[in-house]
């Protein structure tokens, strides 16, 4: 009976020039037999020793997907999941191929480069030497911003957007010039950014920390500036405030809970959001998005209530109670190298306790957002 042989299928150049990362699998009778896992080790040419990947090395060199059927074996590595390595056994000879951008090449060499700009290694690029169908050598470079599926230890995306939406506030009470609000529409610049170092982040969800990063779950604690600001002659100014709270992400569902910690509204916000991304091709992603949002009594009465000393301006007193809002939006993302274009259009429906307020002229809000970000790390 033939014995299993441990064969090196692929060697990847290490950032340490003395080392190679080896991917090995067992074969028997010139076939891949029951390959449920591969052996990954770091081989040091200067000492002749091999070792298991360290925690840092495993970020880049882990096997992510594996499929084997007798004469065929495919796998991907964690550094760049948009490369697929394909192996075929023909007459007991193993041929190595690379599949990238719907093209197949004969594989010669691969190097994974990373650097330590901010005291922790992160991917720089992946260099691959291949031979095309005409047997012409080529070099393919995949920079870090085109490496799909890889989550770096730190990253920075910065850009600018533009928000255009309907204004639900009465026109004759409007004079908030700081956000360029005029007439029946709101048009204002919108900063777009994501800055992250390890578990610390600053983005549209605020400034916070990831406390529980799992494959299908993530628990975040964050602080954000939020509110429904409003200013008009004869009325007390409604200001934004600092809110802190929790975000729980699980598959396509996200749960938000925030509490006003600045003591301006003393209110609370709870929101359930559903969003799923459809990758139409390697450039364009479509993401339908909807949420249901609850504002409590304190939040509502601060932003939409009318106090006795404001009756002369709006005509009647109003004590606003808790309410529920809903939004449906379609988002699109176009990725071109380090740049990502953002497009979104949607409608928000405000609860009956918002629409009943004298400080509101309508209960729906159409919104569109356009923008672009660039990845610098």
Q: State pLDDT tens for residues 138-170.
A: 888 888 888 876 677 788 999 999 999 888 887
Both tokens assigned to 121: 């290694």
Both tokens assigned to 34: 């029951």
pLDDT digits (tens, 9 = 90+) for 76-118: 888 788 888 888 888 888 888 888 888 888 888 888 777 777 7
Question: How far, in Å, CA of 252 to CA of 216, rounded?
Answer: 9
Of the CA atoms within 13 Å of residue 128, those in its CB half-sphere come to: 23
Highest mean pLDDT among 106-110, 120-124, 365-369: 365-369
Range name among 52-61, 166-175, 240-249 with the lowest pLDDT average: 166-175
> What is residue 256's predicted lDDT score, i.e. its pLDDT?
97
Question: How far, in Å, CA of 281 to CA of 362, rounded?
Answer: 39
Give the CATH fold of the 154-375 domain: Porin (2.40.160)
Both tokens assigned to 100: 């990238």
Beta bridge partners of 158: 193, 374
> What is residue 169's predicted lDDT score, i.e. its pLDDT?
81
> What is residue 175's predicted lDDT score, i.e. its pLDDT?
44
Range name among 159-168, 208-217, 245-254 with the lowest pLDDT average: 208-217
Q: What is the 3-state secondary structure (H, E, C) of the chain?
A: CCCCEEEEEEEEECCCCCEEEEEEEEEECCEECCCCCCEEEEEECCCCEEECCCHHHHHHHCEEEEEEEECEEEEEECCCCCCEEEEEEECCEEEEEEEECCEEEEEEEEEEEEECCCCCCEEEEEEEEEECCCCCEEEEEEEHHHCCCCCCCEEEEEEEEEEEEECCCCHHHCCCHHHCEECCEEEEEEEEEEEEECCEEEECCEEEEEEEECCCEEEEEEEEEECCCECCCCCCCECCEEEEEEEEEECCEEEEEEEECCCCCCCEEEEEEEECCEECCCCEEEEEEEEEEEECHHHHHHHHCECHHHHHHHCCCECCCCEEEEEEEEEEEEEECCEEEEEEEEEEECCHHHHCCCCCCCCEEEEEEEEEEEECC
Confidence of residue 224 (pLDDT cuts 50, 70, 90): very high
- In the chain, CATH 2.40.160 covers 154-375
Spell out a b/e string for 169-186, using b for 16 or more CB atoms within 10 Å of the CB, else e: bbeebbebeeeebeeeeb
Range name among 27-31, 171-175, 245-249 with the lowest pLDDT average: 171-175
**Nearest alpha-carbon partner for 246 in 223, 279, 213:** 223
**Nearest alpha-carbon partner for 25 in 4, 45, 43:** 4
Beta bridge partners of 200: 197, 209
pLDDT digits (tens, 9 = 90+) for 60-73: 788 877 887 777 88
Question: How far, in Å, CA of 242 to CA of 201, rounded?
Answer: 17
Residue 207 φ then ψ, to 5°: -110, 125
> What is residue 233's predicted lDDT score, i.e. its pLDDT?
77
Both tokens assigned to 160: 């600018």
Beta bridge partners of 246: 221, 257
Q: What is the largest CA-CA distance in the chain?
A: 97
**The whole model's pTM is what?**
0.78
Q: How many CB atoms lie within 10 A of CB 73?
A: 22
Kindly tell me if the per-residue pLDDT of 2 is higher than 70. no
**Residue range 319-335: average pLDDT?**
96
Question: How far, in Å, CA of 139 to CA of 125, rounded?
Answer: 12
């Amino acid at each position: 009976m033939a014995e299993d042989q441990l064969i090196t299928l692929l060697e990847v150049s290490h950032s340490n020039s003395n080392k190679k990362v080896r991917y090995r699998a067992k074969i028997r009778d010139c076939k891949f037999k029951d390959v449920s896992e591969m052996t990954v080790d770091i081989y040091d040419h200067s000492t002749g020793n091999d070792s298991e990947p360290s925690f840092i090395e495993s970020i880049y060199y882990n096997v992510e997907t594996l499929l084997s059927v007798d004469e065929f074996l495919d796998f991907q590595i964690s550094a760049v999941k948009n490369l697929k390595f394909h192996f075929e056994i023909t007459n007991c000879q193993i041929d190595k191929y690379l599949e990238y951008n719907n093209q197949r090449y004969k594989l010669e060499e691969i190097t994974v480069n990373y650097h330590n700009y901010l005291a922790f290694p992160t991917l720089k690029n992946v260099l691959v030497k291949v031979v095309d169908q005409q047997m012409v050598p080529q070099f393919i470079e995949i920079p870090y911003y085109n490496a799909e599926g890889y989550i770096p230890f730190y990253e920075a995306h910065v850009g600018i957007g533009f928000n255009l939406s309907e204004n639900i506030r009465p026109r004759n009470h409007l004079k908030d010039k700081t956000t360029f609000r005029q007439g029946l529409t709101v048009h204002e610049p919108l900063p777009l950014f994501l800055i992250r170092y390890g578990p610390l982040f600053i983005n549209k969800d605020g400034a916070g920390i990831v406390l529980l990063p799992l494959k299908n779950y993530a628990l975040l604690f964050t602080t954000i500036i939020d509110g429904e600001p409003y200013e008009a002659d004869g009325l007390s100014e409604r200001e934004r405030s600092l809110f802190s709270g929790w975000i729980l992400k699980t598959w396509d569902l996200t749960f938000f809970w925030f509490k006003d910690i600045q003591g301006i509204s003393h209110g609370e916000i709870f929101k359930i959001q559903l969003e799923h991304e459809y990758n139409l091709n390697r450039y364009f992603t479509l993401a339908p998005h909807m949420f249901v949002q609850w504002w409590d009594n304190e939040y509502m009465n601060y932003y939409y209530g009318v106090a006795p000393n404001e009756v002369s301006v709006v005509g009647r007193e109003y004590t606003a109670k808790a309410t529920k809002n809903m939004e449906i939006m379609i988002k699109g993302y176009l990725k071109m190298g380090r740049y990502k274009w953002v497009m979104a259009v949607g409608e928000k429906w405000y609860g009956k306790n918002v629409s009943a307020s004298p400080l509101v002229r309508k209960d729906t809000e159409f919104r569109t957002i356009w923008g672009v970000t660039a990845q610098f790390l």
